[in-house]
Amino acid sequence: MFPRRPYWDQVPNLRSRSSLLRNGSHIVKRFTSVTNQLLRLELGILLGSSTVDHWQALKVAVLLSPNLRSSLDHIHCWGQAKCLELTVMNYNQLLNDIPLSSLPQLYKDAVYATRQLGQRYIWIDSLCIIQEGDDCKDWQTEVSLMSEVYSNSFCNIAAASASDCNHSMFSSRDRTPIEQETVSLVVNDREISSWYVFTSDRGLHDGREFWEKEVTNSLVNTRAWVVQERLLSARSLYFGPSQVYWQCDEKDAMEIWPAGIPDFVWGRRRNIKPDLKLTQGDSVIRQISDCRWQYIIQTYSTCDMTNPRDKLPAISAIAKRVRSITNDQYVVGMWLSILEQELLWSVDYECLKPRPKDYRAPSWSWAAVDGTVHSFCRNLRSEAFFTIEDWDIDYLTEDDTQQVKGGWLRLRGRLMEMTLMENTLYRNFKAFTSWVNGLQISYVRLDTIHDAFDQENADGSLYCLPTMVNKSEYYLSDKDERAHKAPPRLSFLVLQIVDREKGVFSRLGICENDFYRDEIDDLLGYREGEEDFPCEKYEDGYHHIRII
């Protein structure tokens, strides 16, 4: 039993309220002007009707309007169905009118939900960004504004389970798990309090399972673009198969837990939203380095993306939010203040894919490849063996969180020759073992699929660069004669020569192994002929190389 609380005490009741349906309905494309100059383009939808009770009387059209600030965002899965889109060809037509019959079912439902929430504006990406005919100019402009669109929206309404725009946002459902009866506590003929009682114990026990299935793992949350909408929006409503779900900075709620989901329901972390709660102050950089950004990237990299070109744009809004708090420099999906550790990302071996044909980012950025990305979380006892001397990025536009045309890093470290051999001990996936200065490196994580490295080994084109050692705080179960603690883990960048004369390399992956300190000291010692390794220059025992 639970204390009786108003239904969705922080969300307007979704029951029909005809008084909300009074004004004409328009998709609004607005300009925000500052000092009488038009500086940027923004988009939205103005909804309403001149007839109270007739859905058919709703008017929908594209409209230019200045300084529109309140709107709803609608997030959905595009799927394979062809949805109505805003294009250069139909732009003037949609300025005048969009017949309701031309709207797919999902958009009609979104319009209806928006009116029921008492709002007059909604932002739908396919109708609010020109999708065809302008060489992506409008797309580039609007994507640069996504941080403001999501952050300033009244609410996100999400079709959690709709596979495409032709499916409804609303579902026929079994209400048994969420049905409640009200019971009252009466003392001396006076009602002391009222309580909700579940008529089924399924809702009580399956609260976490409902959330994970219908929100965390919902179809809509498999879209990469949706990650930043989830993080940046003040509040979100998910219309799931069995319930309506609520998420905001203060609470997560669902119909069986309308006042908020109790902590005991959660057995583990359930969403990524808290990871963007950064605060001002000296600890900001540490907050990012404490794996917050890395966890966001891991979540983002598991999601699906229709257009590979969107790898950086689809997370740019989050990057801008973080930068506004930290004042850190954003570098192709990573942060300059912690770039040394962020270079040590790896791709889940079960998700390896071929290297993309079209260029997206330098090879040292996780944005250059596909698959689930795991990042190196540096602890306070980590020690670095290389430094970043310089970097340069060639951006496609003036927005440095968007697409790039090229880029490089200049590193100073100790370059080492290596070989890569297939490890036949693993049968479920292709694994490799590396050898560096006579020592075996058993843990190799490549960025993309490779069949073999016979030619590269023969050519001597494979090198590695020791990067960082994580000193373990964990003790071995059996006392070792040298130490009781587990040995430190040393990480390397795996590199391949691109230009031997200029000392230019590309990244292939990372490798790691546990070594005792004397082994690390020996590994990092001078090797005869190392001054002849490909590099821009060799000085004081260190190679200066460039990675593209």
In DSSP notation, 115-139 reads: HHTT-SBEE-HHHHS--BSSTTHHH
**Would the pLDDT of 314 be above 60?**
yes
Least confident of 190-204, 312-326, 421-435: 190-204
The mean predicted confidence, pLDDT, of the chain is 78
**Strands 235-239, 155-159: parallel, antiparallel or unpaired by DSSP?**
parallel
Q: Which has more pLDDT, 246 or 256?
A: 246
d(CA 153, CA 71): 5
Cα-based distances in Å from 112 to 20, 25, 115, 170, 212: 10, 11, 5, 11, 27
| Enclosing H/E stretch for 149 | helix 146-151
Is a pLDDT exceeding 60 seen at residue 64? Answer: no
pLDDT at 24: 39
Q: pLDDT category, 147, cuts 50, 70, 90? A: confident
391: confidence class by pLDDT, cuts 50, 70, 90 = very high
The per-residue pLDDT for 274 is 53
Q: According to the model, what pLDDT value does residue 69 have? A: 53
**How far apart are the C-alpha atoms of 153 and 8, rounded to whole Å?**
19
Rounded-to-integer distance, Cα 207 and Cα 451, Å: 45
In this predicted model, which residue has the larger pLDDT, 416 or 179? 416
Q: Is the pLDDT of residue 472 over 80?
A: no
Which whole-number Å values give the CA distances from 327 to 151, 336, 367, 375, in the listed order? 18, 10, 22, 22
Top pLDDT among 334 and 164 is at: 334
Kindly tell me if the per-residue pLDDT of 390 is higher than 90: yes
Give residue 276's pLDDT: 56
User: What pLDDT was estimated at residue 485?
Assistant: 64
Q: What is the dihedral of CA 105, 110, 43, 57, to 10 degrees?
A: 80
Q: Which of 228, 56, 30, 227 is nearest to 146 (CA)?
A: 228
Q: Identify the pLDDT of residue 197.
A: 57
Helices (H), 422-509: 454-459
Average pLDDT of the segment spanning 365-394:
88
Confidence (pLDDT) at 74? 67
Prediction pTM value: 0.81
Structure tokens belonging to residue 373: 């990305």
The residues near 60 (Cβ < 8 Å, ≥ 6 apart) are: 25, 26, 27, 45, 47, 97, 98, 100, 103, 111
Place of tokens 């030619």: 455
Sign of CA dihedral 203, 208, 211, 214: negative
Q: Are 444 and 431 in contact (CB under 8 A)?
A: yes
Q: Per mean pLDDT, which of 205-209, 378-382, 431-435, 525-529 is the most reliable?
A: 525-529
Cα separation, 267 vs 213, whole angstroms: 14
